[in-house]
Amino acid sequence: MKVIMAAAECAPFAKAGGLADVIGALPKELSRLGHDITVIIPKYSLISEQYASKFILKESIEVHFKGRQLPFRLFEYKQAGVTYLFVENDDYFKREQIYGQKDDSERYAFFNRSVLEIVQLQEQQADVIHVHDWHTAMIPFLLKEDQRYASIQAIKTVLTIHNLQFQGKFSKEKFLENFEMNERYYDEGIVEWRGSFNSLKTGISYVDKITTVSPTYRDEILTDFYGEKLNSLLQEKQQDLVGILNGIDTEVYNPATDLAIVREFDAMSMEGKQVNKREIQSKAGLPERGDVPLLTMISRLAGQKGVDVLQEVLPNLLEKEDVQFALLGSGEEKYEQFFQKLAADFPDKVYIHIGFDEAFAHLLYAGADIFLMPSHFEPCGLSQLISMQYGTVPVANRTGGLKDTVIEYDENLKTGNGFLSDFSQDKPFDLALQRCLDFYQQPKHWETIKKNGMEGNYSWSRSATEYAKLYEKLI
């Protein structure tokens, strides 16, 4: 099959979050299955010269946008059987960051049009266009409703929702200005939802199949609690709504071959884990002890991620228990300040790195003992998969992909790879964490839990096969 994927980010070229990891890994696995995969993303100026210098200028193309013919240059790069195409327009993509710009509505409207222009110009027609999140969700609508694309209207479409919270909501004026479609589409509620032009809602309405990044998140978004006010529409489309669990790139995240860590290791020989732990403690200025449990969190610091839960749990834990904690992340100022104060209050127990450092993230996954994920909701989550791959035991909230992948340890059956909370009175997060710490003091159980985690299959091969089956059913 010939599949085109369109997204706002893709690792290793441009990354703001987990979406980039998916677009970096899934196409490679689909290619390994024998499919013809093309990925299209904007050519952001922040793409490292290490990659940009290898891009080949393919052609210059004009697209009709906002009443005029607007040019862009198309660059190509091939790797691991995947063709990557980059849309260059400095007015829209020469920016210091990927998102959070005042003209995001216009930038991604231009990108949507550019993608369809590229698809039209391809010699062999695609079987499927697979779009991701709100940034590309208008493509199925334009494909069906704009006669400029009549020649490619037969192409099937798939939309993956990575996080329903982000919907691309803008004013009616932005819709009319950026898409130049009849205002009846807004007035009749086709692109409008609860008083705004809603990009994701429009994509959900027009796409042939919708996927979520875990089976549990698929069920959750049909409810009022998780549905972000789109659940009634999703209920209407639930026959076309499928949950497929994300994987991780096991070439990038593999403790046996990872060059970013100090000592490689695997499930059969875990001595290297202690070496990495000592390296973290050394870098963080913490006492270099092998016996103390080292807890970590690598995360965007936002309400979704359950930082409020840690605000309640960590000070008390650090006061009473012999533990260490290392954080890597950035986000809301109030949360950054909380963690910085925590480091000031417990200088011998806490290390905080505000920002992001890819190599240090690998080291934390490899050397920490326990990984904290108290998320209020988590469409899939990759950190728990990576941490288990490195023998670091997750303590998580039972939601979304965390529920699908973290299995409560059973000391009698010796099954399970982590510990779960549901924030209820019976299963609060501090109790799940305490249970984890209790087993840390029992070496035989602890080795079993780590090994169970490391022996799980978190690769994209299973997920890619499910996506391929979905495409086949469509065409």
User: Comparing C-alpha atoms, which of 175, 194, 195 is closest to residue 185?
Assistant: 175
Q: Which residues contact 275 (CB under 8 A, 6 or more apart)?
A: 262, 263, 367
Q: How far apart are CA 475 and CA 471, in angstroms?
A: 6
Which two tokens mark 114? Answer: 């550019």
Give me the long-range contacts of 332-340 (CB less than 8 A, separation at least 24): 332/301, 332/302, 332/303, 332/307, 335/301, 335/302, 335/307, 336/301, 338/307, 338/311, 339/301
Amino acid at 400: G
Q: How far apart are CA 172 and CA 319, in angstroms?
A: 53
Q: How far apart are CA 256 and CA 245, in angstroms?
A: 24
Decide: residue 41, CB within 10 A, 0-12 exposed, 13-18 middle, 19+ buried.
buried
Q: How far apart are CA 336 and CA 350, in angstroms?
A: 14
How does DSSP assign 194-263, residue by residue?
Answer: TTEEEHHHHHHHH-SEEEESSHHHHHHTTSTTTSTT-HHHHHHTGGGEEE------TTTS-TTT-TTSSS
| Start-to-end Cα distance in the chain | 9
Helix ranges (H only) for 249-382 are 271-284, 307-320, 333-345, 358-367
The answer on whether 277 is annotated among ligand-binding residues is no
∠ CA(55), CA(32), CA(463), 5° rounding? 110
Which positions make up the binding site for ADP-alpha-D-glucose?
15
Which positions make up the binding site?
15
